[in-house]
Structure 1
Amino acid sequence: MTWLAPAIQDLLIEALWQTLAMVGASAAIAAILGLPIALLLHVTSPEGLTPKPWLNRPVGLLVNAARSTPFIILMVAIVPFTRLVAGTSIGTGAAIVPLALAATAFLARLFENALREVDKGVIEAARAMGATRLQIVWKVLVPEALPGLVAATTVSLVSLVGFSAMAGAVGGGGLGDLGIRFGYQRFMPEVMATVVVILILLVQGLQSLGDWLTRRLSHR
């Protein structure tokens, strides 16, 4: 990055850490919240362990509503909730709130699809051996779906990198904010190009790591 001024280099490093913080924190929250939601949707589905349409449908509708809302609109729509949680509606900490909400809905559906891919014969075998529903969920369903869950998390992380750049455009900080303020508004194409290259490398690194973990788990 010698083609950039020292002050810009410092801002770039700070923006990278802000992006990593936004992506990491929102992904962790999404995984913690998304897996229980996915399990609930899967278990209460018509083909699930405990079919409960009265519960499955409303939860599914909420998840779909959050997924179908464009992220930029979601950020604006939940500003009061963001202020309540983060104490402010701008900055890296505030951006984590809508990022986590969008990622939770997205990841919940991906997790649900991964759970559906588990061989029904394995579940039936566990039932035949007298396993309880809770044991089937945590000792059979989740472990068998683990490669798919990791692959889903990888997809979510890659999407969050793009969302975080979008959040930066409206005051969320990070690489997106730096690219807009300096690369676009101050006509510094070298800054914009550097931001784009870093984002591409970040996405490629996350995808490669996720693919490697998925392959390792698939051959366990």
Structure 2
Amino acid sequence: MNTFITTFLPNVSEIWDEVLQSTWETLYMTLVSGLVAGVLGVILGVILVVTEDGGILENRHLYNVLDKLVNIFRSLPFIILMALIVPFTRFVVGTSIGTTASIVPLVVATVPFYARQIQNALVEVDPGVIEAAQSMGASPGEIIFRVYLKEGLAGIIRVSSVTIINLIGLTAMAGAIGGGGLGNLAITRGYNRFQNDVTLVATIIILIIVFISQAIGNALVKKVSH
């Protein structure tokens, strides 16, 4: 194995520790950003569902404001968003450079995307089940947790898997402009120094992470659906 790496991946063999560190940084950004954005995205998605026209807590003004904010932030290219919220990033973590600093724009970019995905998943819940819960005197909180989130669990897991894959792509983009991780490795080592084997290995590792995430998501959907 060592002979293969030395022969076909000469530059990678010299910076193997850096490859492992970059992989960990990508996983760190993905996991932390995914956890924070997941919680906020579910909350925002639920609010969008219950406040829309015909929702159990219909509030057109609140829905219109949140809906437009989600659309605006979803429309912003990630690189522009990173630059736009630099002051906010510095306020939150004390710096705008590095792996931890990248988590802030990653969360800001992922929350509206995930919230819209959650909204789409929850609107597929059978309206008849919701009406039945209301007729039995269920409170809005009970309907949210016992009907929306429970009945829409398979859809939530499915869109969560899509969001994680999208987030992995964003971490690579964040790394390309100084956020660390495999994206940073592929650009600073692979592209700038013409070390194509480094770029190749970074790409393969990212693809492996994506495939594993997709496989876990599919397995959870299958388990919940049965």
Same fold (TM over 0.5): yes
Q: Distance in 2 between matches of 1:137 and 1:161?
A: 29
Q: Distance in 2 between matches of 1:69 and 1:139?
A: 35
Match of 2:217 among 210, 214, 219: 210
Q: Equivalent residue of 1:50, what SS?
A: coil
Shift, 1:47, TM fit: 2.3
* 1:150 and 2:161 aligned: no
Aligned residues: 219
Name the counterpart of 1:189. Answer: 196
**1:38 maps onto 2:45 in alignment:** yes
Matched residues in 2 for 1:17 and 1:196: separation?
14
Aligned-partner Cα distance in 2 for 1:217–1:144? 10
Secondary structure of 2:152's match?
helix
Report Cα offsets for 1:87-137 as digits up to 9, x if no partner: 111100000000011111100000000110100111111112111111111
1:151 Cα shift? 0.8
Q: Which residue of 2 aligns with 1:138?
A: 145
CA–CA distance in structure 2, aligned partners of residues 128 and 44 of structure 1:
19
Corresponding residue SS for 1:210: helix
Return the letter of the residue paired with 2:152.
A
For residue 193 of structure 2, what is the amino acid of its counterpart?
A: R
Report the Cα distance in structure 2 between the residues aligned to 1:8 and 1:117, rounded to whole angstroms: 49
Q: Distance in 2 between matches of 1:141 and 1:169?
A: 39
Q: Which moved more, 1:4-13 or 1:112-121?
A: 4-13
Structure 1, residues 120-179: CA drift from partner, whole Å, max 9, x if none? 111111112111111111111111111111111111100011100000111000000000
Determine the structure 1 residue equivalent to 2:135.
128
For normalisation by structure 1, the TM-score amounts to 0.97
Paired residue for 1:159? 166
What secondary structure, in the 3-state scheme, does the structure 2 residue paired with 1:88 have?
A: coil
**Structure 2 counterparts to residues 96-115 of structure 1, below 5 A:** 96-115=103-122
Other structure's SS at 2:15 match: helix
Structure 2 gap ranges (5+)? none
CA offset at residue 194 of structure 1? Answer: 0.5
Q: Which residue of 1 aligns with 2:73?
A: 66
Q: Find the counterpart in structure 2 of residue 25 from structure 1.
A: 32
Gaps of 5+ in 1: none
| Counterpart code for 1:202 | I
Query: Structure 1 residue runs of 4+, over 2 Å off?
Result: 1-7
2:74 is aligned with 1:56: no
Aligned to 1:48, the other structure's residue is in SS state coil
**Using the alignment, how far apart are the partners of 1:52 and 1:16 within structure 2?**
44
Report what 1:87 is aligned to: 94
| TM-score, normalising length: structure 2 | 0.94
Deviation at 1:7, TM superposition (A): 4.0
* CA-to-aligned-CA distance 1:37-95 (integer Å, 9 cap, x gap): 11111000002112110110001111111111000100000000000111111100000
SS at match of 2:216: helix
CA distance in 1, matches of 2:155, 2:51: 20
* Deviation (angstroms), 1:6: 4.3
